[in-house]
C-alpha cells in the first residue's frame, strides 16, 4: 500500500503470540480479480469505462484517470470510500452498488493517521491497489 501503512491484526493469532500477514490477499493481482468479478461489467475489462452502460450521472467513468482527475495523485482513501460506502452513491445519484454490504474479505487494520488504526476489508485495499496500478 502506498499511502497507508498496514498493521495487520487478528485477535486469535495475536492471543497465541503470532502476527499474521495478509500480503497475498492485499495485492494488485488480487484486486484485479475483485475488479473482474465486481466492476468490469460497468467499467470495462480495462477499467476505461463502458460507454454502453450509462449511470444516472453519465457513463461509468474511466477508472484509469482517477489520479489525473486528482491533480496527479491517486487518492487511495477517497477511492476506497467511494467503492465501499452508500454516502457517496446517494449524494451523487449513481447506480453503482455499495460494496460495503458485501463480504470483502478479512479486516486489515491500517494506520491512516499516525497512531490511528482503521479496519478496512482486505479486498477493498487490494482493489485500490489494482486501480492505482492501472493509472495513466
Tell me the C-alpha distance between 45 and 48, whole Å. Answer: 8
Only one residue has cell 497507508, namely 4
The CATH number of 5-133, from 3.40.50.970, 3.30.450.20, 1.10.760.10, 3.90.226.10, is 1.10.760.10
Q: Report domain extents, the chain.
A: 5-133
Q: What is the pTM for the complete model shown?
A: 0.76
pLDDT higher at 114 or 99: 114
Query: From CA 119, how far away is CA 46, in angstroms rounded?
Result: 29
Cβ–Cβ < 8 Å for 135, 74: yes
pLDDT, one tens digit per residue, over 7-40 is 433 333 333 333 345 666 799 999 999 999 988 8
Share of the chain above pLDDT 90, in %: 35
Cα separation of 87 and 95, whole Å?
A: 13
Cα–Cα nearest to 119, from 80, 88, 93: 80
pLDDT of residue 60: 79
Amino acid at each position: 500500500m502506498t499511502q497507508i501503512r498496514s498493521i495487520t491484526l487478528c485477535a486469535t493469532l495475536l492471543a497465541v503470540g503470532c502476527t499474521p500477514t495478509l500480503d497475498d490477499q492485499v495485492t494488485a493481482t488480487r484486486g484485479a480479480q475483485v475488479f473482474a468479478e465486481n466492476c468490469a461489467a460497468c467499467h470495462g475489462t480495462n477499467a476505461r469505462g463502458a460507454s454502453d452502460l450509462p449511470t444516472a450521472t453519465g457513463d461509468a467513468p474511466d477508472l484509469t484517470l482517477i489520479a489525473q482527475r486528482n491533480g496527479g495523485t491517486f487518492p487511495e482513501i477517497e477511492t476506497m470510500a467511494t467503492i465501499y460506502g452508500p454516502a457517496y452513491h446517494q449524494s451523487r445519484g449513481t447506480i453503482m452498488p455499495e460494496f460495503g454490504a458485501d463480504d470483502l474479505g478479512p479486516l486489515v487494520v491500517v494506520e491512516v493517521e499516525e497512531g490511528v488504526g482503521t479496519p478496512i476489508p482486505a479486498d477493498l485495499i487490494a482493489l485500490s491497489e489494482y486501480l492505482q496500478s492501472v493509472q495513466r
